[in-house]
Amino acid sequence: MNERNDLQTRIEEARVLAHSQQTVQLATCNSAGIPEASYAPFVESEGRYYIYVSELAKHCANLAATGRCAAMFIESEADAKNPFARRRLTLQCTAIELERGSEAFNAMLNKFHERFGKFMDVISPLLDFHLYQLTPVQGGFVAGFAKAYVLSGENLADIRWRDEEGHSSPDAKSRATLDEMIN
């Protein structure tokens, strides 16, 4: 397989990882710039991720205030061969709220109903919940140890190695041991 095909395969692996999850990990900052970690169930449509979140959750206010977040989809610890090398897709996103009752809001809420079932009947009418559209503007994908990529461009379709040289080792023996462990 040539390098370009290998890189395109990595883009597909990243998408499969995201689609295999029901929730997305979120990093937002509050108005004082203090980072806060959280998660939310999501639906995806045309390369954008949608989250339906309550005002009771800190990330709701943070998204409203900043209009941005980082999102992460990560391989489960149970499935990972090595905890240092869990596959993960990280995305830097813009975040906009969809107006309740709008055509876009209703279409995405229907997707939430399809994906999450009857629980949506309980929370969809609650007025403290807001629907946010997260649009990735750049990202990264780690396919394993020393297999890190940068995603950019329209629909994050451009991919390149994060660092062409990989990890640095103090000597040839250390490098050989590392290569043996990761390959």
Q: pLDDT digit string (tens) for 84-140?
A: 999 999 999 999 999 999 999 999 999 999 999 999 999 999 999 999 999 999 999
Q: Does domain 3-182 have CATH number 1.10.150.120?
A: no
- The pTM assigned to this predicted structure is 0.87
Q: CB 107: neighbour CB atoms within 10 A?
A: 12
* Amino acid 163: pLDDT: 74
Domain ranges of the chain: 3-182
pLDDT band at 176 (very low <50, low <70, confident <90, very high): low
Q: Return contacts of 29-33, CB within 8 angstroms, 24+ apart.
A: 29/62, 29/66, 30/58, 30/61, 30/62, 30/65, 31/65
